[in-house]
Structure 1
């Protein structure tokens, strides 16, 4: 597939793979620099808002009824 025909997602994935080959420790360093538990927005982004809502309701229920 030529470069003109690649979708933006394909270009990003190709660049990500090239970066990973050049610098395999880069992701670890980025994660370390961000710190542990990047915040609520990262948590919701990781799970999706529906899953996060279910988890929040379960945790709230446990806290209220124990």
Structure 2
């Protein structure tokens, strides 16, 4: 297999599939890493921004 031509996304996906075959090797939950890995930095920024705005709205209306 040509690992030298593999992109970081392909490597991440290959390692994720390998981990799914052996779930006992995973100590940490992988939900957040899957989400962040799939979205990229812009998508992650949007989610963080939405969380911050949500907390502000919650604080204003439910104080």
Instruction: Tell me the TM-score normalized by structure 1.
Output: 0.51
Partners of 1:3 and 1:49 lie apart in 2 by 33
Two-structure CA RMSD over aligned residues (Å): 2.6
Q: Which has the larger radius of gyration?
A: 1
Unpaired segments ≥5 residues, structure 1: 32-44
Unpaired segments ≥5 residues, structure 2: 30-43
* Counterpart position of 1:57: 56
Structure with the bigger RCO (C-alpha within 8 Å, sep 6+) is 2
Deviant stretches of 4+, over 4 Å = none
